[in-house]
Amino acid sequence: MKYDEESFKAQDQESIIQREAIISQEAVLMRYDLEKKLLSQAAAGNYEQAVQILDHFSDNPMDYADFIERSPHDADRRLRYGGLLLNSALRVSFLSTQVPIIYIHILATHFGILLESAPIEYLREERILYRIIEGYCFYAKEYNGIQYSDTVSKITDYIIFHIRDELSLHQIAQAFHFSAAYVNRILKKETGYTTVQYIKKTRISLAKTLLHFDNLTVTDIAAQVGYPDCNYFCRVFKQIEGSSPVQFRQKKKGRFM
């Protein structure tokens, strides 16, 4: 029998339409409305509201026949697949928030690796969908309402993406062709921190993220955030957080929120 590509495409399209026809319009609209609300609540940092919306998703398999059709039929694989979709949707939706991209990247990477490689029992026990929402909500809450001018946003982004470097006020000012006094003044005005203070705050904030979401050693984390001397990093961390990096990691093994 000769292969007829056009006929095959027509038949395939017809089968898709037939499959979609069994999904009620009401179920599809409700599902997409809930997804939209969930992403909105997560972007606002409202964890409780977001998980309440997650719990309102229908338990009727027929309402997800289209999803099931294009996802793995095995329930365990479908949990991983659903988690990857949720992680991806949150990652994209968070690009329009004030959460720095580096934190979004760390979260998305962490949960992506976890969903691909962690034992299914662990994913069930951790209620992985709730855990993903929790991680994103934490950072949305941390950065909720922060609005910087374009100039300060560019400076803070520069600091984050050069955090491993030996950053200085002079270096930052030179990168933007500003005077050091001007950079210090506008950063202090909008963030409440001098340039040196903001760099230190950003380094410790990123270190906390890595301690919670990554298995790097404290020495590696120190280097990642611009402290080649691990002992000095530990002293600065304890000065700001009131505990050592190891104590912080142990304390935060459970939940962020």
Kindly give the confidence (pLDDT) of every residue in the chain, 257 residues in length, as a single tens digit, with 9 standing for 90 and above.
343 445 434 545 555 445 554 566 777 788 889 999 999 999 999 999 999 999 988 666 666 655 555 555 677 888 898 899 999 999 999 998 888 888 899 899 999 999 999 999 989 988 999 999 999 998 898 887 778 899 999 999 999 999 999 899 999 999 999 999 999 999 999 999 999 999 999 999 999 989 988 778 999 999 999 999 999 999 999 999 999 999 999 886 655 55
Integer Rg of the chain from CA? 23
Token code pair at residue 27: 């179920």
Which pLDDT score is estimated for 178?
A: 96
Which pLDDT score is estimated for 136?
A: 94
Closest CA to 55 of 27, 34, 32: 34
pTM exceeds 0.85, yes or no: no
Which pLDDT score is estimated for 216?
A: 87
Domains and CATH numbers, the chain: 14-57+72-143 (no CATH), 150-251 (1.10.10.60)
Contact assessment for residue 203 and residue 227, using Cβ atoms and an 8 Å cutoff: yes
Which pLDDT score is estimated for 90?
A: 96
What is the rounded CA–CA span in Å between residue 134 and residue 256?
A: 8
Which pLDDT score is estimated for 2?
A: 40
